[in-house]
Amino acid sequence: MQSPRPAGAPESATLLISCPDQPGLVAAVTSFIASHDGNILHLDQHVDQQENVFFMRVEWDLTRFKLSPADIAPAFKAIADKYAMQWQLHFSSDVPRMAIFVSREAHCLYDLLSRYTAGEWRVEIPLIISNHPHLEPVAQQFGIPYHVFPITRETKAAQEQAQLELLKACGIDLIVLARYMQILSPEFVAEYPNRIINIHHSFLPAFPGAKPYHMAFSRGVKIIGATSHYVTADLDAGPIIEQDTVRINHKDSVDDLIRKGKDVEKLVLSRAVRYHLQHQVLVYDNKTVIFA
Amino acid sequence: MQSPRPAGAPESATLLISCPDQPGLVAAVTSFIASHDGNILHLDQHVDQQENVFFMRVEWDLTRFKLSPADIAPAFKAIADKYAMQWQLHFSSDVPRMAIFVSREAHCLYDLLSRYTAGEWRVEIPLIISNHPHLEPVAQQFGIPYHVFPITRETKAAQEQAQLELLKACGIDLIVLARYMQILSPEFVAEYPNRIINIHHSFLPAFPGAKPYHMAFSRGVKIIGATSHYVTADLDAGPIIEQDTVRINHKDSVDDLIRKGKDVEKLVLSRAVRYHLQHQVLVYDNKTVIFA
Amino acid sequence: MQSPRPAGAPESATLLISCPDQPGLVAAVTSFIASHDGNILHLDQHVDQQENVFFMRVEWDLTRFKLSPADIAPAFKAIADKYAMQWQLHFSSDVPRMAIFVSREAHCLYDLLSRYTAGEWRVEIPLIISNHPHLEPVAQQFGIPYHVFPITRETKAAQEQAQLELLKACGIDLIVLARYMQILSPEFVAEYPNRIINIHHSFLPAFPGAKPYHMAFSRGVKIIGATSHYVTADLDAGPIIEQDTVRINHKDSVDDLIRKGKDVEKLVLSRAVRYHLQHQVLVYDNKTVIFA
Amino acid sequence: MQSPRPAGAPESATLLISCPDQPGLVAAVTSFIASHDGNILHLDQHVDQQENVFFMRVEWDLTRFKLSPADIAPAFKAIADKYAMQWQLHFSSDVPRMAIFVSREAHCLYDLLSRYTAGEWRVEIPLIISNHPHLEPVAQQFGIPYHVFPITRETKAAQEQAQLELLKACGIDLIVLARYMQILSPEFVAEYPNRIINIHHSFLPAFPGAKPYHMAFSRGVKIIGATSHYVTADLDAGPIIEQDTVRINHKDSVDDLIRKGKDVEKLVLSRAVRYHLQHQVLVYDNKTVIFA
């Protein structure tokens, strides 16, 4: 199912840019857009004063824009080269394709699929991948193909290879780990740099790794949280996209922490997915700039 | 006491602009800055799609800027006129002068003066005005002149006139009502449009007027709040600058609500004052755009 | 589907009590429980000092309790009468039956059914009622009977009567209005006093009635919220069970408010339902005591 | 200055109890109170099901209580011994004496002294101790003696000894480290077990030790926090009393994190101090039960 654009929203183009800071950058980009009669819908920029790096996101209306989508990148290249920009160009008419990975916990999967079915995002979800058959009934409820890849130490490399082939065949742009309890190999991660979003059930960098709710209970913290981040080769150490927290108290057992934490996980993961789908995320120096 | 700029922060100029939306606005403003070798420190813009109004805040480094401060406004006027812009130009080197109005509650006054004394803001506070002598010892603790203007129905007009004369004599740019329990007359308000900041001890528009904590207790709400807004002729109905909330429960008496509310009032008022002092607020249609 | 008790949780009894405050109340109730070898799992009490009313919730383990469930109420009656207590006795082994009412918005329905299917609550949901056929596919996804009662001004009384008959036939204990956009008649409400939970999409008492997100946008608030309350004959004025808020800013359109608000509505409604199902709510003077 | 009791609040006694869980504990304690005509103002209990430990706080009105304060402990001892209780008995008429330790940061000191001067707490603050002369003017503003103990590696032991003598001479019950940048020796800590409250400027266990805001900036977290805890011999590892968080984003420099964090530190520390002064904290197994 393809989620519709909000009623009346025009088709748009979005540029994400980073480069060494210097005078004239915003003027150069916005003059380019204005010179072809583009009207800016959103513009946000940021300068990391410490590192002297410039970041920018600009989205403009294509309705009266004089350049065709295919001509924009070639025309912009001259500016990009002049300022040594790293840049991405996205079109709202391109609908991203997203795969969901799950294990046994259903809450994030339900949340993602409910938003998808309700048309909250402009995305296609052509498949769900799991290392367990456990959640297949949920996939069936929502009519989405569910692929099981059981994983053992011996089969891991081969199974990841099979997963990658399936993902490529389905034209997947984004992978969402919705409480997928397997660690992806560095080789797998390298195939989707900054395109694999994980939800970790703690307020990182507190309680990385396994059983964070048990650790939080044991330490006696008064607030727990969840963290959504891009997956890198370092476990739970990738660029953080979004975090949130919820208050707990001494009456809460580990089961209560798990229950309260699930609601935070759902919110945090769905916000991170939305930021990514809207091209609002720029990764730099293992951190994220979120243009929201 | 003049609060220092953060170490190493360059002197800067800030433009706040609003005008009918059309293509080329950002390009026009940023090209103006770039053409005189200005480097942009912060740029934020917003388009109200419903009303077709464009808003922008841009702050740039004056260190290598080719125009002297006095020449900027005349030079920018051509652009502003072309696009029918309403605009303000501010310089970080101009230190605003702020008056605080209080009645009997000390918590916001302590909070403002502690921040002032600690150098958190670049501002001068040359006087405190009150309708009661009650808080004079606090003013003395911080070494700030304290002026008492007792107010009755009969004396109100004359006392407000006397207050205005004192404020003008002190060159006051901004008035902060830190739980000042008198309603300012429309005539007084008209002298400082969008330059009088009030803190109301409820989450507006819930519980306007007197005794909001008592009303919140009586209604049985589970969260209370505070609201900072510019004062207009309509009581508690001016443009909202900042709000925040805190959770309460059935165990909390009215006294507990007052106690918990005070902490929210302090935070909300201090954030609103900061936004104003940093020229991050644009008022439009009885609402605020906060470029933070 | 009946949701299981958490592994290892013993079957328990819960007393909810309110009465005029006086010395000896806690001693009387807890001595009753101790005298029959009951071990207290949770005890919470509250005294409204202003009204001089005592409230108490006590839950105890039935495993070694000497009285059979059927004998508890008769035995406790002597104490209750002595102190003029209003009281309810609940057993964890009694699984409540809950009906969901919806109109066109799917998000709360998805959220409730996902929690139900995942076994988060000990409850039965034997039916969904709507004034529209719109959400029948969601009901089918989760395998729950969906009954459509179209309502016009002329048919309202008859349709409500038909709904009531269906609810009685299904043994419904609790009705949850999950964005049901019809106002229930006082006659309907009187059939389920303090047993109809509504979610209103504003931070009450701000923005009661229709289109609260539009009103919030128009007023320019910086935070929006949602409120879950028991339905009374007065629209949006019943006892508040739970509220929560989320921060917005000038960039958010009405559509953004609706989107962000949905996430708060889901959380607030699900927490209120949980409190009710766990017998943690006492209603008094149009307010709630939440023993959580 | 002694802060007054809230108008009309009766003098009360508070028992804090922990012991192995078993049936009859609440009945035993509340029957003791009722048998002497005590009326309970607040009662809260908690059972750690995992460890089988019972915790209770009960506060009762002494107005009509038949036992004199001096007779309560001897009378209660029989019950306490029977159930192997650890217990503390506090009277609202006993005003605790609190010392504040500071270094160079003024914000927490201003916050504590403002609350003290405004009568928010029933406490005496007879002295402030620092390793620097820097904040003496703040102490003078509030009229509180300020003692400087410069500390080097060589003088540390002797200076701590001198501090302890001063604290004993002043009858100090509670020490509050309001951003005191010296690590107390285990010997010092042992003199005030669970009576030294520290504020750490991170969301523990994330970022313990020095420069937590710099570490938070470097890691790219989206939320920062503060933690108040009892000081133990292990650095930043004592029982957590209170935590809170605040959202940040990529625009925030380290200086912004420090500024936003200060507001959280003030709130968290003041809440922790209040819990302690109200005898609402029970420490168990390096965690706290907060009866609030």
Residues D137 and D215 in one domain: yes
Q: For residue C6, is pLDDT > 70?
A: no
Q: Considering only alpha carbons, which residue of chain C is nearest residue A105?
A: C118
pLDDT number for residue C148: 98
CA dihedral of A153, A155, A156, A158, whole degrees rounded to 10? 160
Amino acid at C259: R
Peptide bond into D205 cis (omega under 30): yes
Record: contact C34-D41, CB cut-off 8 A: no
Contacts of D168 (CB under 8 A, 6+ apart): none
Q: What is the pLDDT of residues C217-226, one digit of tens each?
A: 999 999 999 9
What CATH number should be reported for the domain holding residue D143? 3.40.50.170
Residue D5 lies in a domain: no
Three-state DSSP at B259 gives: helix
* pLDDT band at residue A167 under the 50/70/90 scheme: very high
Residue A36 CA to residue D91 CA, distance in Å, equals: 78
Residue D228 CA to residue C248 CA, distance in Å, equals: 30
Residues C157 and C110 in one domain: yes
Residues A34 and A135 in one domain: no
CA B248 to chain centre: 28
Number of domains making up chain D: 2
pLDDT number for residue B50: 86
pLDDT number for residue D3: 45
**Of B73, B91, B109, which marks where a domain is finished?**
B91
Q: A224-252: buried (b, 16+ CB within 10 Å) or exposed (e) per residue?
A: bbbbbbbbbeeebebbbbbbbbbebebeb
Q: What is the pLDDT of residues A103-151, one digit of tens each?
A: 999 999 999 999 999 999 999 999 999 999 999 999 999 999 999 999 9
Residue B114 CA to residue B144 CA, distance in Å, equals: 12
Chain C residues whose beta carbon lies within 8 Å of the beta carbon of residue A106: 114, 117-118
Residue A288 is classified by DSSP as E
Helices then strands, each counted (H, E), chain B = 8, 13
CB-hemisphere CA count at 13 Å for B48? 21
In this complex, the chains that touch C, judged by 3 or more CB pairs closer than 8 A, are A, B, D
Residues C203 and C103 in one domain: yes
The answer to whether residues C239 and C204 touch, using CB atoms and an 8 Å cutoff, is no
Residue A224 CA to residue A217 CA, distance in Å, equals: 9
Residue D213 CA to residue C274 CA, distance in Å, equals: 38
Q: Considering only alpha carbons, which residue of chain B is nearest residue C44?
A: B251
* Angle of the C107-117 helix axis to the A107-117 helix axis, nearest 10: 150
Pairing of strands D86-91, B39-48: unpaired
Identify the CA nearest to D228 among candidates D251, D256, D200: D200
Q: Which residues of A touch C (CB under 8 A)?
A: 6, 106-107, 110-111, 114, 117-118, 120, 141-142, 255, 259, 263, 267, 270
CA D242 to chain centre: 10
> Per the residue annotation, which of C44, C81, C111, C236 is the catalytic one?
C236
- Which tokens belong to A131? 């290392």
Q: What is the pLDDT of residues B33-66, one digit of tens each?
A: 999 999 999 999 999 988 999 999 999 999 999 9
pLDDT number for residue D7: 52
pLDDT number for residue B3: 45
Sheet of strand A223-230: strand arrangement:
A146-148, A124-130, A97-102, A174-177, A196-200, A223-230, A240-247
Q: Would you give per-residue pLDDT tens digits along chain B (292 residues)?
A: 444 455 567 899 999 999 999 999 999 999 999 999 999 999 999 999 889 999 999 999 999 999 999 999 999 999 999 999 999 999 999 999 999 999 999 999 999 999 999 999 999 999 999 999 999 999 999 999 999 999 999 999 999 999 999 999 999 999 999 999 999 999 999 999 999 999 999 999 999 999 999 999 999 999 999 999 999 999 999 999 999 999 999 999 999 999 999 999 999 999 999 999 999 999 999 999 999 9
Which DSSP string do the residues of D1-64 spell out, in sequence order?
-PPPPPTTPPPEEEEEEEEE--TTHHHHHHHHHHHTTPEEEEEEEEEETTTTEEEEEEEEE-TT
Residue A155 lies in a domain: yes
Nearest 5°: the CA angle D79, D80, D85 is: 145
Residue C3 lies in a domain: no
pLDDT number for residue A7: 52
The answer to whether residues A225 and A243 touch, using CB atoms and an 8 Å cutoff, is yes
Residue B98 CA to residue B173 CA, distance in Å, equals: 6
The answer to whether residues D96 and D170 touch, using CB atoms and an 8 Å cutoff, is no
Record: contact D39-C22, CB cut-off 8 A: yes
What CATH number should be reported for the domain holding residue A47? 3.30.70.260
Residue D145 lies in a domain: yes
The answer to whether residues A17 and A86 touch, using CB atoms and an 8 Å cutoff, is yes
Residues C49 and C108 in one domain: no
SS3 sequence of chain C: CCCCCCCCCCCEEEEEEEEECCCCHHHHHHHHHHHCCCEEEEEEEEEECCCCEEEEEEEEECCCCCCCHHHHHHHHHHHHHHCCCEEEEEECCCCCEEEEEECCCCHHHHHHHHHHHCCCCCCEEEEEEECCCCCHHHHHHCCCCEEECCCCCCCHHHHHHHHHHHHHHCCCCEEEECCCCCCCCHHHHHHCCCCEEEEECCCCCCCCCCCHHHHHHHHCCCEEEEEEEECCCCCCCCCEEEEEEEECCCCCCHHHHHHHHHHHHHHHHHHHHHHHHCCCEEEECCEEEECC
**Of D91, D124, D152, which marks where a domain is finished?**
D91
Q: Considering only alpha carbons, which residue of chain A is nearest residue B32?
A: A27
Record: contact A106-C120, CB cut-off 8 A: no
CB atoms within 10 A of CB B227: 31
Contacts of B57 (CB under 8 A, 6+ apart): B14, B15, B16, B17, B42, B43, B44, B45, B279, B280, B282, B291
pLDDT number for residue B7: 52
Amino acid at D231: V
Residues C68 and C119 in one domain: no
- Which tokens belong to B126? 């040359």
Query: Which spans in D170-253 are helix H?
Result: 186-191, 212-219
Distance from CA of B220 to the nearest CA of C (A): 5
Distance from CA of B149 to the nearest CA of C (A): 33
C37: left (phi over 0), alpha (psi -120 to 50) or beta: left
- Which tokens belong to D282? 């029970």
Residues D225 and D272 in one domain: yes
Residue C209, classified by CB atoms within 10 Å of its CB into exposed (0-12), middle (13-18) or buried (19+), is: exposed
CB atoms within 10 A of CB A185: 14
Identify the CA nearest to B144 among candidates B163, B162, B164, B170: B170
Three-state DSSP at A226 gives: strand
D262: left (phi over 0), alpha (psi -120 to 50) or beta: alpha
Average pLDDT for C177-206: 97
Q: Residue A40 belongs to what H/E stretch?
A: strand A39-48
Q: Which residues of D touch B (CB under 8 A)?
A: 6, 106-107, 110-111, 114, 117-118, 120, 141-142, 251, 255, 259, 263, 267, 270
Residues D219 and D169 in one domain: yes
Residue C167 lies in a domain: yes
- Sheet strands (E) in D110-260: 124-130, 146-148, 174-177, 196-200, 223-230, 240-247
Residue A241 CA to residue B86 CA, distance in Å, equals: 37
Q: What percent of chain A has pLDDT over 90?
A: 95
Chain C residues whose beta carbon lies within 8 Å of the beta carbon of residue A259: 120
Residue B95 CA to residue B117 CA, distance in Å, equals: 15
Q: What is the pLDDT of residues A21-47, one digit of tens each?
A: 999 999 999 999 999 999 999 999 999
Pairing of strands B196-200, B223-230: antiparallel
| Among C136, C263, C265, C273, the residue to mutate for chain A (most A Cβ within 10 A) | C263
Residue A5 lies in a domain: no
Residues D27 and D85 in one domain: yes
Residues C62 and C142 in one domain: no
Identify the CA nearest to A229 among candidates A198, A273, A192: A198
Residues D114 and D87 in one domain: no
- Which tokens belong to A139? 């996939």
Look up A81 and say whether it is catalytic.
no
Distance from CA of B19 to the nearest CA of A (A): 14
| Among C110, C248, C258, the residue to mutate for chain A (most A Cβ within 10 A) | C110
Compute CA distances D73 → B20, B141, C285, D70, whole Å.
Answer: 77, 44, 39, 7
CA dihedral of D115, D120, D122, D125, whole degrees rounded to 10? 10
Q: Considering only alpha carbons, which residue of chain D is nearest residue A46?
A: D251
pLDDT along chain D (292 residues), means of 10: 55 97 95 96 93 96 96 97 97 97 97 95 97 97 97 97 98 98 97 98 96 97 98 95 97 96 98 98 96 94
Residues D113 and D251 in one domain: yes
- Which tokens belong to C285? 């003077």
Residue B65 lies in a domain: yes
In this complex, the chains that touch A, judged by 3 or more CB pairs closer than 8 A, are B, C, D
**Of A69, A91, A113, which marks where a domain is finished?**
A91
Residue B205 is classified by DSSP as T
Q: What is the pLDDT of residues D248-265, one digit of tens each?
A: 999 999 999 999 999 999
Record: contact D45-C40, CB cut-off 8 A: yes
Identify the CA nearest to C126 among candidates C193, C171, C178, C161: C171
Q: Residue B199 belongs to what H/E stretch?
A: strand B196-200
Q: What is the pLDDT of residues C237-283, one digit of tens each?
A: 999 999 999 999 999 999 999 999 999 999 999 999 999 999 999 99
Q: Which domain holds residue B47?
A: 12-91
- Dihedral of CA C125/C126/C129/C135: which sign? positive
Residue A113 CA to residue A99 CA, distance in Å, equals: 11
- Which tokens belong to C31? 């001595």
Residue D3 lies in a domain: no
pLDDT number for residue D181: 95
CB atoms within 10 A of CB B98: 24
In this complex, the chains that touch B, judged by 3 or more CB pairs closer than 8 A, are A, C, D
Strand partners, D98: D174
CB atoms within 10 A of CB D269: 27
